[in-house]
Amino acid sequence: MTAVLHQNGSQKMHVASGFFRFVAMVGALALPGVAYAAQPKPWQLNFQEAATPLMEDITRFHDLLLWIIILISLFVLALLAYVMVKFNANANPNPSRTTHNTAIEVMWTVVPVVILVVIAIPSFKLLYASDVIPKVDMTIKATGNQWYWTYEYPDHGKFSFDANMVPDDELKPGQPRLLETDNRVVVPVDTTVRVQVTASDVLHAWSIPAFGVKVDGVPGRLNEIWFGPVKNEGVYYGQCSELCGIRHGFMPIAVEVVSKEKFQAWVAKARKEFASDESLSRPRMLAQSATK
């Protein structure tokens, strides 16, 4: 998850993270032509707004761990302060020679075990939920290439297209730098989607932080992940999260969530636009020329 922190802004770190999340959301809604967008924001301190039930569970688990860490840190700090005050040379010139205390030894064994169990239960539930593919409404195949993505829609006519990063000089107002693609993945709202991920050359990773999904694309192997249902229409951004070469940082992922009516209209258009392999020639040429 990307956090953009200004080097001279350390004095503002105490400001509540919820304020920044609110400002980021208002800014995204204010952009013309953008219904909702999940992407990294300046001064962001927390996760992006959760767009799926799975990401909501991940956020709650993160918050639980944060409170556990805070309580443990405060407890250890209090013990250190107590020891420094109670058992320094001036306050305790004749130290005790006690070597065992059964009650304390039982406590420092049982309490950590209880804490680990409290952490393990939701952790295992999340691992199971993210790993087991539920009943899905549609399937998309994503193939990682150096340095662009190829997407296939096997349930909607088996058309495919490439998605390259939009160069800085071609960005339109409201499009984020390094995150926008020339062809977006389009899915309908309230739909559970399976994404099959592979790679044609080296390791890649398909990741959308707002969906709570991330999976490696491995040459010769087909991995699966799922997301949804997404309730809000809009554009959700991610990036390749596996070092894949010189242009690893220029391999974004853009998923546009639309109404089911708009999705059907897009599918009809995409079948014609991407029906020929010639439609893929320009994106591939762009990716290849970028390496020269």
CA distance 36 to 176: 13
Q: What is the pLDDT of residue 241?
A: 93
Cis peptide before 149 (omega within 30 of 0): no
Give the total residue count for the chain. Answer: 292
- Domain covering 138-290, topology: Immunoglobulin-like (2.60.40)
CATH 1.10.287.90 fits 53-92+100-131, yes or no: yes
CA distance 104 to 107: 5
Structure-token match 């009809």, residue found? 268
Question: How far is the CA of 91 from the CAs of 77, 82, 87, 94, 192, in angstroms?
Answer: 19, 12, 6, 9, 65
Q: Are 217 and 149 in contact (CB under 8 A)?
A: no
Q: What's the predicted TM-score (pTM) here?
A: 0.77
Q: What is the pLDDT of residue 3?
A: 37
Question: How far is the CA of 290 from the CAs of 100, 105, 245, 248, in angstroms?
Answer: 68, 62, 12, 12
Domain with CATH 2.60.40.420 in the chain: 138-290
Task: Please return the burial class of 64, using the count of CB atoms within 10 Å of its CB with bins 0-12, 13-18 and 19+.
Answer: middle
Q: Along the 292 residues of the chain, how does pLDDT read in single tens digits?
A: 333 333 344 334 333 344 444 444 444 434 433 455 688 888 888 898 999 999 999 999 999 999 999 999 999 999 999 999 988 888 888 888 878 889 989 999 999 999 999 999 999 999 999 999 999 999 999 999 999 999 999 999 889 999 999 999 999 998 999 999 999 999 999 999 999 999 999 999 999 999 999 999 999 999 999 999 998 999 999 999 999 999 999 999 999 999 999 999 999 999 999 976 544 444 444 444 444 4
Domain with CATH 1.10.287.90 in the chain: 53-92+100-131
CA distance 256 to 239: 14
Q: What is the pLDDT of residue 276?
A: 61
